[in-house]
Structure 1
Amino acid sequence: PPAWDGASRVTILLLGLDTEVKTDDQGQISPDRVGPARSDTMILLTIDPQTKTAGMLSIPRDLWVNIPGFGYARINTAYYNGEAYKLPGGGPALAMRTVEQVIGVPVQYYAQIEFWAFTRLIDDIDKITVYVEKKITLDPVGPGADEIVMPRGWRKLGGVEALAYVRNRHTQDGDVDRSRRQQQVIMAFRDKVLDPANLPQMVSAAPKIYGDIQAGVHTNLSFDDAMRLGMLMKDIPMESIQRGVINNSMVTFGNVTVKGQNQQILKPIPDKIRELRDSIFATGGALSPLAKGADALDLAKQEGATVSVLNGSYTAGIAGKTADYLKSLGINVVNTGNADQFPAATKVIDHRGRPYALKYFQELFRLNAGVQIVSKYDPTAAVDIEIILADDWAASNPMP
């Protein structure tokens, strides 16, 4: 991928694999992989340097989606297929393309962490502190490791305990609970590393941390870009990091037969997932730009989405007039013309996930987000957003 310019929004797919965990003679998690490589964990991390905000969106592994070139399957098989069929970019590339289609935003980078590196990084910083919201029984990996019953309350976790904590699915909400715990652990790690009181400890641990990251974290981010993003995250307060999970209200439950075996799947409800995405990418966090009262138009202009304005009304010239109006406001309109349809109401088609522009257009055109904003991810589309004008806009609009 191209080098990060330091100003654009960055979106990174965080991956953890479902390989069987193996231990060495000392009971440490081994670097050796055993078993199939499907993505056990998928978290979309977005960072906006312009507004000093960030967000995490967790994607359940049983989500039933269209995997490019392979048809419909659970989303966790995208990584496996990319590796098994030796596609360009392997498993990470196919996983990123699949997530792009499902969530509707471009994903430039990935970071895949090995289980052994996860445990060592937490041990390198001498444990993390989390608040256990419900009593949970963990099954740590390792010879002679006993089950751990954690009551509700604050708890310090070492590497092996933390791994068991983020992998446990045996709770009332299963994967949803697990996804929340994974985000919780990421935040706890961040808080421990960035706490000024821990600076001497972090400095002394830096060589080990660096070595474990180099050996156990695989990414297409350059070292320089990774360091710059790390410095940027230091400047983003916790209140400006929005977290979300695709939960049971955003899917329908189903069953399919694959190779003679019955599988339980989660079928996405696209509008609800898009609303969650926008809440994280555009309006997330108490200190997010829109929540702080930042002007939606200013944010849309900063985002720089390319826009096509098409006339789907019976009023001649309305597309050109609207395009000129939007250009006068600073919107990057690159195309006008006639639509091949006459919708009952104005609609916006989002090809690449431009949340600030969508938010502004929703206000300007008075759109019903669940009906008149359509997510149709297409990285080959000529523009980021298509606006198809209808008679409602032609009859009533703020243009001079």
Structure 2
Amino acid sequence: MSEKNDSFQPRRRASVDGFLVNSGQRPRRPQFRAPVQPKAPATPSQERMIGFSGAPRKTQNSPALQPTRPQPAKSEKAASLPKEPRSQYVPLAEEPAMGRRQRRKETRRSKKLEKRAAKDRKKTSKAKKRLKIVGIVLLAAVLGLGFRFYDDIARLTGNRNPFSLLGVFRPSELRNDNGRVNILVAGNSADDIGHGGAELTDSIMVLSLNTKKETALMLSIPRDLWVAKPEGGHGKINSVFPESGMEGLESVVEDVTGLSVHYNAIVNYTAFKDLVNAVGGISITIQSENPRGIYDSSLDWTTRSCCALARYPNGPVNLDGKQALNLARARGEGYGSYGFTNADFTRTEHQRKMLIAIKDKASSASVVANPFKVSKLVDAVSDNVRTDLQIGEIQSLYYYTKKIDDTKIDSYNINTLKGENTTMLSNYTSPDGQSALIPAAGLDNYGDIAAQIKKIFTAGPLVKENASIVVLNATDAVGLAKQTKNKLFAQGAEVLVIADAPANQVQSSLIDNSLGKKPNTLAYLKKTYGASVVQNKTLSQNYPAADFILLLGENAVPKTDTSN
């Protein structure tokens, strides 16, 4: 071994308590006795609480802290310190004794609290009773409204199956022809007890909806049209329903119009009154050729003693339910009446206007958001309408109709399908002396009527307005007027005359003799030929039957390709 190792002396270590230990021996942790805190002398009240009779308690003095010799280790782990003894119970200070006055005060206070708690319990109990009563009333109201709704739908559709109400949550597909749905609507006065001929359908109309283009047409059929009856023989079309029902009337209407009828509805005239009242009144525009407006001196059937059916000036008028009902019946037949130039045709025109006004008001937010108005509306329909539409189909129909704008609803009657200057019907006297109407082509000959209806239902705006046009060539281009005539004819317009204009002009011009009554044709001519609207009394007098006189300028000459 080296000298370095021989001279090595181990260091002496001191233990934690200051005593030295031998070389190589680990210091041991000293063990102390835990100090015992002296206990405070107990007060008399505390002694009573813990069972002492007042004798002084013996106490032990705390021993001095003395280190103990380290004990031999039982294991390699260091010995842990002993646990401290549990803390002694220290009694609370003595509470002051409660006086008699204070006890009375506390008693009164506790009684007040008990009374208040009892009142609160009573209030809670009363509130619960009220809530129960309100809940029962609401439940009864919901059940009542549900039964009322079911009864309304059952009366409207004729279907008493309660499961049919599930159709409210599942709209049904409508029967249609390439997206067009045709509904036959007939109106009578069956609700007016005592009125002669109440079952006769004096109003007959076809409502046609194009679900693809979101457009609609209303076609009125005159009540005096002489037709072949399903039961045999001939008679006025308004007498078909009392004898053959709605199915028989459907068959006759299909023969007259050439249309397929998908659904039908029979309506009492009272529907106008109830529907208008349900939506809070309507507004329509009276447009009469008479500057005074319209007047029908016939008496109101419901009063039997006074009041004319209708008397309104030209322009917008507001109608309540009673006024709407009377206007729907007015034909200008009374002595001194005016403004009903076309009698029954004018009446059906007013009816179509009122239907559009009711549709607009019924779909407005002020009605849809008001449950009371909606309830009245449903009642008005169920009380006065019977239809073969089912509830799911009614919901689908409402979905389509609310998307149709008023500007996309066209109104016609059979007599003026080709315009006001051409009539499709002729007067007829039946073998038994009745005054009636038949097709201009002859008895039971509905070919021209059906063809014109098909043309209107499938063609563009020029066909619907059926405007008469005179085309004048104001250029040196040969054949320009004839080319224009062929183009307008293809669009469905009627060209009366083609000729040369008195003088040439650079810009095309247009004379509007329709006074704005045929806006679609006017817009088409202005856009297609770049024409500006002018006035020319001489040309208007030369062509009095023309709705429009088109003068073709240089800008209307087709451009030719000169690049080759």
- TM interval, short-chain normalised: 0.5 to 0.7
1:100 aligns with 2:254: yes
- Following the alignment from structure 1 to structure 2, what is the Cα–Cα distance between the partners of residues 181 and 276? 23
- Following the alignment from structure 1 to structure 2, what is the Cα–Cα distance between the partners of residues 47 and 235? 11
Kept after mapping to 1: 8 A contact 2:206/2:220: yes
* Cα gap change, 1:280 to 1:186, in 2 (>3 Å): farther
* Cα gap change, 1:19 to 1:217, in 2 (>3 Å): closer
Give the % identical residues: 26
Shift of 1:198: 5.2
- 1:205-244 alignment to 2 at 5 Å? 205-244=373-412
Q: Which one of 216, 219, 225 corresponds to residue 57 of structure 1?
A: 219
Kept after mapping to 2: 8 A contact 1:254/1:267: yes
Kept after mapping to 2: 8 A contact 1:19/1:37: yes
1:189 aligns with 2:358: yes
**CA deviation digits over 1:344-396, x for unaligned, max 9?**
xxxxxxxxxxxxxxxxxx98xxxxxxxxxxxxxxxxxxxxxxxxxxxxxxxxx
Shift of 1:195: 3.3
Q: Which has the higher contact order (CA 8 A, sep 6+)?
A: 1
Counterpart residue number, 1:4? 174
Secondary structure of residue in 1 paired with 2:235 = strand
1:157 aligns with 2:324: no
Shift of 1:205: 0.1
- 1:288-367 alignment to 2 at 5 Å? none
Counterpart residue number, 1:314? none
Unaligned runs of 5+ in 1: 23-31, 83-90, 289-361, 364-400
Larger strand percent: 1
Secondary structure of residue in 1 paired with 2:430 = strand
Q: Which one of 314, 318, 328 corresponds to residue 166 of structure 1?
A: 328
- Quick one: which amino acid aligns to residue 174 of structure 2? W
Kept after mapping to 1: 8 A contact 2:278/2:377: yes
1:146 aligns with 2:312: no
- Following the alignment from structure 1 to structure 2, what is the Cα–Cα distance between the partners of residues 5 and 35? 33
- Following the alignment from structure 1 to structure 2, what is the Cα–Cα distance between the partners of residues 186 and 257? 36
- Following the alignment from structure 1 to structure 2, what is the Cα–Cα distance between the partners of residues 196 and 186? 18
Kept after mapping to 1: 8 A contact 2:191/2:268: no
1:15 aligns with 2:166: no
- Quick one: which amino acid aligns to residue 439 of structure 2? P
Shift of 1:11: 0.8
Counterpart residue number, 1:246? 414
* Cα gap change, 1:69 to 1:34, in 2 (>3 Å): closer
Counterpart residue number, 2:231? 69
1:117 aligns with 2:287: no
Secondary structure of residue in 1 paired with 2:434 = strand
- Quick one: which amino acid aligns to residue 267 of structure 1? I
Kept after mapping to 1: 8 A contact 2:189/2:268: no
Shift of 1:226: 1.1
Secondary structure of residue in 1 paired with 2:300 = coil
- Quick one: which amino acid aligns to residue 251 of structure 1? L
- Quick one: which amino acid aligns to residue 279 of structure 2? I
**CA deviation digits over 1:280-313, x for unaligned, max 9?**
421365899xxxxxxxxxxxxxxxxxxxxxxxxx
Kept after mapping to 1: 8 A contact 2:189/2:195: no
Kept after mapping to 2: 8 A contact 1:57/1:277: no
Shift of 1:185: 0.8
Secondary structure of residue in 2 paired with 1:184 = helix
* Cα gap change, 1:74 to 1:46, in 2 (>3 Å): same
- Following the alignment from structure 1 to structure 2, what is the Cα–Cα distance between the partners of residues 97 and 213? 25
Secondary structure of residue in 2 paired with 1:177 = helix
- Quick one: which amino acid aligns to residue 294 of structure 2? I
- Following the alignment from structure 1 to structure 2, what is the Cα–Cα distance between the partners of residues 280 and 287? 6
Secondary structure of residue in 2 paired with 1:266 = strand
* Cα gap change, 1:97 to 1:72, in 2 (>3 Å): same
Kept after mapping to 2: 8 A contact 1:242/1:284: no
- Following the alignment from structure 1 to structure 2, what is the Cα–Cα distance between the partners of residues 265 and 115? 23
* Cα gap change, 1:204 to 1:106, in 2 (>3 Å): same
Q: Aligned-residue CA RMSD in angstroms?
A: 3.1
Secondary structure of residue in 1 paired with 2:252 = helix
- Quick one: which amino acid aligns to residue 111 of structure 1? A
- Following the alignment from structure 1 to structure 2, what is the Cα–Cα distance between the partners of residues 253 and 287? 26
Aligned residues, how many?
A: 271
- Following the alignment from structure 1 to structure 2, what is the Cα–Cα distance between the partners of residues 273 and 287? 14
Kept after mapping to 2: 8 A contact 1:244/1:280: no
- Following the alignment from structure 1 to structure 2, what is the Cα–Cα distance between the partners of residues 206 and 9? 28
TM-score scaled by length of structure 1: 0.61
Kept after mapping to 1: 8 A contact 2:455/2:463: no
* Cα gap change, 1:20 to 1:5, in 2 (>3 Å): closer
Greater Rg, structure 1 or structure 2?
Answer: 2
Secondary structure of residue in 2 paired with 1:10 = strand
Secondary structure of residue in 1 paired with 2:259 = coil
Unaligned runs of 5+ in 2: 1-156, 158-171, 333-339, 417-422, 441-445, 465-488, 491-564
- Quick one: which amino acid aligns to residue 15 of structure 1? A
**CA deviation digits over 1:96-150, x for unaligned, max 9?**
1110111111112111111223311111111110111122224434335522421
